[in-house]
Structure 1
């Protein structure tokens, strides 16, 4: 009976994923049509009516795409996520309050942004350690004046979406340390960073702390190798922040959230495998620091 219910659930979810694809296609067509109408209005000497109509159609198309994906993502989350999380954590709580994880209360470097929001909170016990997951989104808003209409408008763009995890390691440390990716300018100008002596690690990551000697005692050669191994299997650029009070923050700039259906091209089994694989990556990183 249970297998039959699972098959029925999978069939229903597969239908929703197909609907999501159809909704996204319809939304794209509306968006394209809106863009064409708006451009036609500009070409025809700044026809305000056409420009406004085009903008409305474009906005409607984007709304249709967003709603279709959000609905399928939520249904997939409710049907798949609990089992996957329960396989790794005990005492799982979906959407717990108050939240423990605050993205802006860490030393993890973030891109310039106007707003920070978080969602999709999940809490549980990983090997008797309180752990919380969430999705972090950063947006930047700027105002501009349209030449055609003279009206001021706001442009909001997403600058960051990532999967974050907080794990309370239940012990204290002599210092804090932060690890984050070395970007192009960091390498070009040899930005000041603590050198570990591991050439591969030092080329790929920055390391900062207020106590270099203590940070290097934490980052033993074995632990550095484990981090590099996990870096090779990461699904996005990641950062680590370890606090003296034992809070460990992990942030992966993946461009999506936990249990996100993405473009909707994966089968349900592929989604299950990806969700489990991504969660396993985070727990493996916890294990790399848990025995510090």
Structure 2
């Protein structure tokens, strides 16, 4: 458990909870796994379920505990010994349950179906689609998918390719962020955007206002574009600071153009709805900057 000052909300704490994995072969205890899953749901505003590889039938069946939630969690204290299911109050579960995010690590497939590209969320919905039919095998196939639809109507998916080459996987903690796979960094950025959007909606609702999609997107764009400018500037400064002097003016100009181009690419890969290119313009150095640098050198 990490209790951290909220990165954007003064006076609030962000609580991150990490549970042990489900299906521990040393415990071999499904009841233990069910309670872990139930506690994670009870304590979370957003439940992030992570798996590795792909969302196949086995991965969905590993979420069997979602089919047993009414056995482990009650919305009301049942009277007269009747169960929550029998009272029909399990329809209220969704009111208390967290949003659901499936994070797929080391994703190995191409996001395409029927020769068309699809988004991460569409990939999840495809995996959770139901089979037609009424036989027992079809019912067993559909049960965990139906329960996921029912209990977690708000759900997202993010697929992460391996963050680095196999030889670098053992030193991930010491690697610079920009040395990680560009695809991995792109998904990570979109994953963080979900947090920004959620905060905007929650703040609006807490004030008693009605959430506005346009305002939320604009606020999120401001945060993301400011971060994109910061990443780009850091990359440019890092590259220029590693130059060895003395250096001729032509070589220095070439290096400036190289790192300026790379910084722009980094900005463009992360920027979001930079209407009018206002943040991109802020990234460009003023025209007098290079001559001043040359004189100082």
**TM-score, scaled relative to structure 1:** 0.22
Larger Rg: 2
More helix by share: 2
Higher RCO by CA contacts (8 Å cutoff, separation 6 or greater): 1
